Amino acid sequence: VFERDGYDIVFTPVLDPPDRIPPERFNTLHQIRGFRKAELLGCRQGRILLLEMDWFIVWDPITGEHHHVDIPPAFDKLSYLYGAVLCAATDQSHMHGSCHSSPFNLVLMSPCQGYEDGTPPIACVYSSETGVWGNPILTTNRCEFARCNPGILVGNVLYWTSKSVNAKSKYLNLDQLGDDIIEFDLDRQSLAVIKGPPGLNHSTTHQIIQSGDCDVGLAILSHGRFEMWERKVSCHGGATWFLQKIVEMHTVFGLPPQAEGLVRAVEILGYDEENGAMFLFVDNNVYMVEAMSMQSMKLYQCSHHSYANDIHPFTSFYAPAIPGGRGGAGMLQDM
């Protein structure tokens, strides 16, 4: 997983040897020319998306290759920018995850056109094949929030929800919450704002997931339990959210229940699209929880100050040999 630590972007390996990659191997200062500080927007299909000042950086940690993409003029005055990088390979034999030399698309989205929420979102798509941004994509739907969780890809649609906040924070601002969900359809190149399930506008911790039927779902953490929702669209186009199950939190982690009146502090840190797993912070540990089965595994200890940021699961693989005669394993393990 990658996360931001101060001004740096750090990597924490979660695999056991011999698959464990040294954290120093994926070092932004060594691999990215002129790197200073950047916002970590997401990881997908072996690439990482960073926002640094007035440009994006699309970075492949396996090869060290990186691309700078300037923010388009329609967005350079906007305060809140979010993005997603996706492989653009169209070859049917292509397997995502080893996309090192494949073209990519970059989706840029701002939930509001200005400094405050309550205005319609705007989006734009960059193609590495053409090297240009497309026309801005607009919607008339207004959005209640300005700060977002990282975008999650379900099928061929990207979704953003309001930013999860620490319920115990002294600076908790409930105005940051909302039941809107921003939806960008990659096939139709369309942008929309849809409504989430009941209770989302009161939720401080939630996560877009993919349901068992490959529909968009939502995990809401509320009062020591998980509410797992799924959105179904009828043949007539109507959409309804269904509550699939409610799971007591302590049973997921194998922990004793809290005393009456107390609620264990839990934060959802991120989501692994490829494996359908959430990452959560519980009692100074980071757990991975499979969203459908709710089976959990403790990954590593984490100090209290470092869990405030989102973590971004990173998955990639490499061929047995790469150009130049070096094996992929040797390339990753050699320092």
Express each pLDDT in 248-270 by its tens digit.
Answer: 888 888 877 765 555 667 889 99
- In the beta sheet, which residues pair with residue 271? 278
Lowest mean pLDDT, pick from 11-20, 43-52, 261-270, 284-293: 261-270
Q: Does the pLDDT of residue 322 top 70, yes or no?
A: no
- Cβ 200 vs Cβ 176: under 8 Å: no
Long-range pairs of 296-301 with CB within 8 A, sequence gap ≥ 24: 296/252, 296/253, 296/254, 299/14, 300/12, 300/14
Share above pLDDT 90 across residues of the chain, in percent, rounded to a whole number: 44
**Does 324 have pLDDT greater than 60?**
no
Q: What percent of the chain has pLDDT over 70?
A: 81
User: pLDDT at position 328, please?
Assistant: 47
The residues pairing with 206 across neighbouring beta strands, listed in sequence order, are: 220
Distance separating alpha carbons of residues 120 and 113, to the nearest angstrom: 7
Q: What is the 3-state secondary structure (H, E, C) of the chain?
A: CEEEECCEEEECCCCCCCCCCCHHHCCHHHHCCCCCCCEEEEEECCEEEEEECCEEEEECCCCCCEEEEECCHHHCCCCCCEEEEEECCCCCCCCCCCCCCCCEEEEEEECCCCCCCCCCCEEEEEECCCCEECCCEECCCCCCCCCECCCEEECCEEEEEECCCCCCCCCCCHHHCCCEEEEEECCCCEEEEEECCCCHHHCCCEEEEECCCCCEEEEEEECCEEEEEEEEECCCCCEEEEEEEEEEHHHHHCCCCCCCCCCCCEEEEEEECCCCEEEEEECCEEEEEECCCCCEEEEEECCHHHHHCCEECCCCCCCCECCCCCEHHHHHHCC
Q: Which pLDDT does position 315 carry in this prediction?
A: 86
Q: Please state, in angstroms and as integers, the Cα–Cα distance from residue 232 to each residue in 143, 192, 210, 236, 242, following that order.
A: 22, 16, 12, 11, 8
For residue 143, name the pLDDT band (cuts at 50, 70, 90): confident
pTM above 0.85, yes or no: yes
What is the pLDDT at residue 329? 47
> What average pLDDT is seen over the chain?
83
237: region left, alpha or beta (phi > 0 left; psi from -120 to 50 alpha) = left
Query: Tens of pLDDT along 72-110?
Result: 999 988 889 999 999 987 666 666 666 667 889 999 999
pLDDT value, residue 139 = 93
Q: Cα 122 to chain center, whole Å?
A: 19
In the numeric block, the tokens 């690439």 are attached to 47
Judge whether 286 and 299 are in contact, CB under 8 Å. yes
In this predicted structure, which of 4-18, 129-143, 308-322 has the lowest mean pLDDT? 308-322
Per domain, the residue ranges of the chain are 2-312
170 pLDDT higher than 50: no
pLDDT band at 218 (very low <50, low <70, confident <90, very high): very high
pLDDT beyond 80 at 6: no
Structure confidence by residue, pLDDT tens digits, 33-46: 767 778 899 999 88
Radius of gyration of the chain (CA): 20
What is the predicted pLDDT for the residue at 245? 93
Asked if pLDDT for residue 306 goes beyond 80, the answer is no
User: What is 2-312's CATH number?
Assistant: 2.120.10
**In the predicted structure, residue 297 carries a pLDDT above the cut 70:** yes
Lowest mean pLDDT among 78-92, 176-190, 286-300, 308-322: 308-322
Q: 42 forms bridges with which residues in the sheet?
A: 49
pLDDT confidence bin for 327, thresholds 50/70/90: very low
